[in-house]
Amino acid sequence: MLPLPEEIAAGLTAMGLPGTEGEPLTGGVSSDIWRVGDFCVKRALPKLKVAADWRAPVARNLYEARWLQRAGDAVPGAVPALLGQDAATGTLAMRFLPPEDHPVWKQRLREGHAEPGFARDVGRRLARIHAASARDPSCAAEFPTDAIFHAIRLEPYLLATARAHPDLAPRLEALVETTAATKRALVHGDVSPKNILCGPAGPVFLDAECAWWGDPAFDLAFCLNHLLLKCLWTPGATAGFLACFDALAAAHVADVDWEAPEALEARVAALLPGLLLARVDGKSPAEYVTQDPDKDRVRRVARALLLAPPTRLSAIRAAWAKELAA
């Protein structure tokens, strides 16, 4: 056990929670996270722990707490219980979920455990959170986070990639404009396998620092992107990862009731190639895509799909499968 950092200790005091010592937790790049007894506390960092100069407002911690509350109300059990939040120190506290019965989905995928049924549940729970917020107009006013979302999602992913591929800049910039202007539902913003626990009762979502009132297509595209890239990390499980891609996409789109499902799918299909390319040429490259041949595979598929945008996710899945089989 180590003494808690001053800001975290002050945040706990402000929230009325006990603790002066804890255990630092690893895995994130945007926050300091400590376990204190049966809960954990996190503090947003002004500069993310990546090679690029990537900064973000620490006020995002407040909106993460609000997302946790909204998501938990919409789908009980889909998030850890929120215990408190202190805006002055940029800290929040939530119930700690032990890894023995809540393994991280990313690690399960790394080990080749590709379970379409679990992926289907991710899609369903995510869609239920989107749908509940879309039905509640008061939700929008709680998330005035356009600037934060731009700083930690649109700029480091799509606009940074546009600078690396000047010929694609008009297409990537148009995706940014469309995404920023589409206001439909409450968005998590970082629906990645590293932020999803495999709980006994289903998926549990973590780390909603990018919470935003905007386009739910971003959440679906962001998660599906990871399932495509995992094929390069654990090639032996490629068929399973693609089956998870199909299951997650189908489950989410089937539960879309706030707009025409085909309209949302078209925006996801347009956005996904940009996010795919961003994971090799943006500010947050996938840490396991390190070999040049793999990076070139990503670039070939993503560039072709950006230049001739599909409207169906099945077209992206087919293009990726064809590249992997080549």
Domains in the chain: boundaries: 2-95, 105-325
Whether the CB-CB separation of 253 and 264 falls below 8 Å is answered with yes
Query: What value does the mean pLDDT take over residues 218-234?
Result: 98
Percent of the residues in the chain that have a pLDDT greater than 70, as a whole number: 95
When computed from its CA atoms, the radius of gyration of the chain, rounded to whole angstroms, is 19
Query: What value does the mean pLDDT take over residues 93-111?
Result: 96
Q: Which CATH class is domain 2-95?
A: alpha beta
Closest CA to 148 of 87, 72, 213, 52: 213
What is the structure's pLDDT at 84?
96
Query: What value does the mean pLDDT take over residues 309-321?
Result: 98
Whether the CB-CB separation of 307 and 170 falls below 8 Å is answered with no
Q: What is the mean pLDDT of the chain?
A: 94
Could you tell me which residues come within 8 angstroms of residue 290 by beta carbon, excluding any fewer than 6 positions away? Answer: none
pLDDT at residue 28 tops 70: no
Angle at CA of residue 70, ends 69 and 75, nearest 5°: 100
Token output for 235: 């090639």
Using DSSP, state whether 15 is helix, strand or coil: helix
- Cα–Cα distances (Å) from 37 to 19, 22, 24, 311, in that order, read 8, 7, 12, 48
User: Quick one: CA torsion of 157, 311, 190, 165, rounded to 10 degrees?
Assistant: -10
What is the structure's pLDDT at 137?
87
Dihedral of alpha carbons 288, 291, 293, 296, sign: positive
Whether the CB-CB separation of 278 and 158 falls below 8 Å is answered with yes
The string of pLDDT tens digits covering residues 229-275 is: 999 999 999 999 999 999 999 999 999 999 999 999 999 999 999 99
Whether the CB-CB separation of 154 and 176 falls below 8 Å is answered with yes
The span from the first CA to the last CA of the chain, in angstroms, equals: 51
Q: Pinpoint the alpha helices (H) of 157-260.
A: 160-164, 169-181, 217-233, 238-254
Token output for 37: 């007894």
Which residue shows structure tokens 């080749």? 112
What is the structure's pLDDT at 50?
46
* Cα 292 to Cα 290: distance, rounded to the nearest angstrom: 7
Token output for 30: 């945007």
Fold for 105-325, please state it: Aminoglycoside 3'-phosphotransferase; Chain: A, domain 2 (3.90.1200)
Angle at CA of residue 119, ends 116 and 121, nearest 5°: 115
Enclosing H/E stretch for 65: helix 60-74
- Residue 188 backbone class (left: φ over 0; alpha: ψ -120 to 50; beta: rest): alpha
Whether the CB-CB separation of 18 and 37 falls below 8 Å is answered with yes
Which residues share a beta bridge with 187? 212
What is the structure's pLDDT at 26?
76
The string of pLDDT tens digits covering residues 40-87 is: 999 887 655 444 545 556 678 899 999 999 999 999 999 999 999 999
Q: Looking at 46-60, 174-188, 289-303, which range is the least confident one?
A: 46-60
What is the structure's pLDDT at 37?
93
